[in-house]
Amino acid sequence: MFEANTLTRSRHIIGTPPVFHKIRGMYPSLPVFMYRHAETENWVLAEWINKDSGLFVEVLNFGKDPNVFPPSLRHELHRRMDDSLSPERILEIIDKEHYEHDRAKTIESFRQVENRERWLRNKAGPAAVPRARGFSLK
């Protein structure tokens, strides 16, 4: 249900529309904030996972007018906030983000090695450069 995002100042414009103060009053202990998405212009309620690194999850999309807060949206907000992030869930999300980042770095390193070997083989001939053993991206 929750997917981690990283705050990007050019895409996520933090603001405090009037509805945010109501939500803040309902959930004073939760690290929530609202932002307007620069491309879609939708207002989104989000919860910080790690404010220092800008890591957050979206809780509820309010559309273009954040001050429209009908009972159905209130009900959805309560349901989602009740499912809010436990410390275990936060660690699971962060671990997934780190795994994907580390995996991408590893693949990039393998590609660099393969590209270097390919370049050397083209320059010095195939017999001059043995293939790296133990991994393949194919």
Helices (H), 62-129: 71-82, 87-124
In the chain, where the domains are located: 4-84, 86-138
Q: How far apart are CA 22 and CA 30, in angstroms?
A: 13
Nearest by Cα to 60 from 72, 51, 73, 71? 73
Among 31-45, 54-68, 106-120, where is mean pLDDT lowest? 106-120
pLDDT in tens, 43-87: 999 989 888 889 898 888 888 988 777 777 777 777 777 655 555
2 or 78: which carries more pLDDT confidence? Answer: 78
Residues 6+ apart with CB under 8 A from 36: 12, 13, 15, 42, 43, 44
Total Cβ atoms within 10 A of residue 86 = 9
28 or 1: which carries more pLDDT confidence? Answer: 28
